[in-house]
Amino acid sequence: MRMTSLFLRTLRDDPTDAEVESHRLLVRAGCIRKVASGVYSWLPLGSRVLRRVEQIVREEMDAAGAQEVILPIAQPLELWERSGRDAAYGPLMFRLQDRKETGFCLSPTAEEVVTTTVAAEYSSYRDLPVNLYQVNWKYRDELRPRFGLLRAREFLMKDAYSFDVDVEGLGVSYQEMYDAYHRVFTRCGLTFRSVEGEAGEIGGDVNHEFMAVAAVGEDDFVWCKQCDYAANVEVARRSAEHPAHHAVVPAADAAPVEKVHTPQLPGIAGVAEHLGAAASELLKCIAFDVDGELGLALVPGDREVNEFALARAVTPRKARLYTDDDFAARPALPKGYIGPGYEGAVLVVADPSVRAPRGWITGANEVDHHVRHVRLDRDFRVDVWADLVTIVSGDPCPNCSGPLSVDRGIEVGQVFQLGTKYARALGAFYTDERGDQHPMVMGCYGIGISRVVAAVVEEHHDEHGIAWPAALAPFDVHLVVLPGKGDAADEVRRTADALYDALRGAGLEVLYDDRDASPGVKFADADLLGMPVQLTLGAKGLARGIVERKVRASGERNELALTDDVLTVGPGELRAAVGARDAWSG
Ligand code: ATP
Ligand code: MG
């Protein structure tokens, strides 16, 4: 494609409403344009990327045995009333009426339609399993559309739905989708992990969210850079091989408990500084309410208590951390000076790191006083041991002891075991070998295709622009011609035209900057648009018989000999010399 005919205007300035890099760069690079809040047009460069993501998804869905369908975007509200989701979606759903005042909605997802579709065609155990998917626009009237494509009101989603005879079958279908998702996001060049959703919250159904690591993500999660371990912060654990567990007892810690005066120092940092100790040498005692009584949660002074972990540890009793009101209601409790032996505490829960064989500095259960050389078993008891600390970056992975990282993630996909909810509500039953009827067992699987485009830009960009992974780039090669003003200008243009033809002849997709613009403008645009390889031909290079090659992502440069490497070799070698999509790892 010649840039002189490409429908493209790049922008030097950031759009004023853009808060995140992907939004800024996709607009500046002329990939998308806003039409309304959370609604975008996809211009040629953007639509090429969107189609490539779509194609990867399609290939992996087909390979996993799912079959493509196209379901309506305009859906009768009546179906949504039958499943009860009309009310559940509420204002998130775009609603409309036809001329007969029949209610419709714009599909935010498609469980209802796909379930009734399968119910109408299939009724025997012999028909199952089946997995149907579509790639289609979805509509959600998000409360806060923002971050460009990341939280849009119109977005492209791949949604798949599996139907099995039983839960075992569902497990197999689910695993196939789960594996396909790993291949999709790997091929898209994303750093991602799958995170298991909290079972309790969603009624025991298994589900995983696929998180692309990104500072602008909306969910905190913990992941290991060395293995596949990933978890929500609420459920994340660290390895028991924590160095704190193996600390050597300093001789002084064997000493008897000693009370120290710490006036007006109710905070960990202040006490540590006053006593010349590290925060980790203090024992933090956090008050919590357990079914109306007082409990204490113990963690080292440099750590925080994970309230979710605490709640799990005391189940079926209910726990929540003390608020100011709770403290006000218990004036005898010396806030800031609480120690593990506080008499009013009915339950003491501690993190395993509190087992470290050392004497602790902790509250003396008396205002303005702390104690030191306080030892487990000798000076205080623990009723329940449980992983309590909030994970921080650098904690050891529970699987491989590699360093965990706490980051934010963008949910690019989700796989979910639905069970029989929709089948029952919408009448998707099958007859087994004995003639008995059962509801079909369903799973649903979504990928935010347009969101993936933005997530990829979040990961693959620098201050100059986008650096598309080869698998998604709108074009393989960005060819820049710099004819200059000299005598060689025509010759440079002719050679560049020939190079353009040769590259396309070799099966490469080429964006050819044949515009009458300055080198500065052309280079800036090439970096902004982000094709994986840039080739530049100018008068000086032509005189030397070379074309300059730059790899956009790494900045690595080399020269290709025009006669030997580029113009006279066969297509295969030319593709290899340039670093074509298939010779490229992305
Ligand atoms: P979120 O929690 O981000 O609102 P969700 O869990 O409601 O998403 P699902 O119903 O699981 O979304 O939809 C499947 C996929 O569609 C999501 O994993 C996400 O990638 C994408 N998606 C959902 N909402 C949006 C949106 N407003 N804009 C772009 N993509 C979206
Ligand atoms: Mg989701």
Does residue 448 line the site of ligand 1, with CB under 6 A? yes
Give yes or no for residue 85 CB within 6 A of ligand 1: no
Q: Say yes or no: CB of residue 303 within 6 Å of ligand 1.
A: no
Region of 545 please: left (phi>0), alpha (psi -120 to 50) or beta.
Answer: left
Fold of 468-578: Rossmann fold (3.40.50)
Ligand nearest to the CA of 409: 1
| Amino acid (one-letter) located at 410 | I
CA of 465 to the centre of ligand 2 (A): 29
Distance from the alpha carbon of residue 158 to the mean position of ligand 2, in angstroms: 12
Q: Look at residue 311 in the predicted model and tell me its pLDDT.
A: 95
Within the chain, which residues score under 70 in pLDDT?
198-204, 241-253, 564-569, 580-586
d(CA 178, ligand 2 centre) in Å: 14
Q: Residue 374 has which token pair?
A: 């306080």
Q: How far is the CA of 448 from the centre of ligand 1 (A)?
A: 6
Instruction: List the one residue out of 7, 1, 10 whose CA is nearest residue 517.
Output: 10
pLDDT of residue 202: 39
Closest to 575 in 3D by CA, of 502, 524, 517 = 502
Q: Please, is 35 exposed, middle or buried when counting C-beta atoms within 10 Å of its C-beta (0-12, 13-18, 19+)?
A: exposed
Q: What atom in ligand 1 is closest to the CA of residue 159?
A: 14
Angstrom distance (rounded) from CA 377 to CA 83: 56
Place of tokens 């992502």: 553
CA dihedral (145, 150, 156, 157) positive or negative: negative
What pLDDT score was predicted for residue 564? 60
Element (H, E) at 61: helix 44-63
Residue type, position 330, single letter:
R
User: Considering only CA atoms, which residue is closest to atom 16 of ligand 1?
Assistant: 448
10 Å Cβ neighbour count for 313?
21
Compute the distance between CA of residue 566 and CA of residue 579 in angstroms, rounded to an integer. 12
d(CA 321, CA 339) in angstroms, rounded, equals 16
User: Is the distance from the beta carbon of residue 409 to the nearest atom of ligand 1 less than 6 Å?
Assistant: no
Does the beta carbon of 114 lie inside 6 Å of ligand 1? no
Q: Exposed, middle or buried: residue 372 (CB in 10 Å: 0-12, 13-18, 19+)?
A: buried
Residues 6 or more apart whose Cβ sits within 8 Å of residue 498: 567
Whole-number Å distance between alpha carbons of 343 and 3: 78
- Does the CB atom of residue 80 touch ligand 1 within 6 A? no
| DSSP single-letter state for residue 566 | I
For residue 538, give the nearest of 503, 500, 578, 489 by alpha carbon.
489
Residue type for position 99: R
This prediction has a pTM of 0.90
CA distance 435 to 167: 19
Whole-angstrom Cα distance, residue 428 to residue 442? 10
Q: Which of 237, 346, 249 is nearest to 290 (CA)?
A: 346
CA 494 to ligand 2 centroid distance, Å: 53
Q: Please work out whether the CB of residue 413 comes within 6 Å of at least one atom of ligand 1.
A: yes
Quick: pLDDT tens for 211-268. Answer: 999 999 998 999 999 999 999 988 899 987 655 555 555 656 678 999 999 998 878 9
Distance CA 9, CA 515 (A): 13
CA of 338 relative to ligand 2 center, distance in Å: 42
Give, using CA atoms, the residue closest to atom 31 of ligand 1: 448
Q: Which residues of 320-342 are buried (b: 16+ CB within 10 A; e: fewer)?
A: eebeeebeeeeeebbbbbbbbbb
Cis bond before residue 129 (omega within 30° of 0): yes
Contacts of 564 (CB under 8 A, 6+ apart): none
Q: Of 26, 154, 165, whose CA–CA distance to 443 is shortest?
A: 165
Return the pLDDT at 573: 76
Tokens linked to 316: 């079926």
Per-residue model confidence as pLDDT tens digits over 26-38: 999 999 999 999 9
Closest Cα to atom 19, ligand 1: which residue? 448
What is the best residue among 40, 157, 201 to mutate for testing ligand 1's pocket, by most ligand atoms within 8 Å of CB?
A: 157
Strand partners, 283: 300
160 lines ligand 1 (CB under 6 A): no
Distance 139 CA to ligand 1 centre (A): 10
pLDDT at 235: 87
Q: Which superfamily is assigned to 247-385 in CATH?
A: YbaK/aminoacyl-tRNA synthetase-associated domain (3.90.960.10)
Instruction: Identify whether 316 is preceded by a cis peptide bond (ω within 30 of 0).
Output: yes
Within 10 angstroms of residue 315's Cβ, the number of other Cβ atoms is 9
Would you tell me the crossing angle of helices 449-459 and 44-63 to the nearest 10 degrees? 110
Q: How far is the CA of 43 from the centre of ligand 2 (A)?
A: 28
Ligand 1 contact via 414 beta carbon (within 6 Å)? yes
Parse the chain into domains and list their residue ranges.
Answer: 21-69+108-238+406-458, 247-385, 468-578
The residue type at 303:
R
Distance 461 CA to ligand 2 centre (A): 26
pLDDT of the residue at 571? 75
429: β partners: 439
Classify domain 21-69+108-238+406-458 at the CATH topology level.
BirA Bifunctional Protein; domain 2 (3.30.930)
Q: Residue 358: its pLDDT value, please?
A: 86
CA pair distance 466, 456, nearest whole angstrom: 9
CB 336 less than 6 A from any atom of ligand 1: no
Structure confidence at residue 253 (pLDDT) = 66
Atom of ligand 1 nearest to the CA of 414: 18
Sheet holding 283-290, edge to edge: 319-321, 283-290, 293-300, 347-350, 384-385
CA angle 280, 286, 287 (to 5 degrees): 165
Q: What pLDDT does residue 566 have?
A: 67
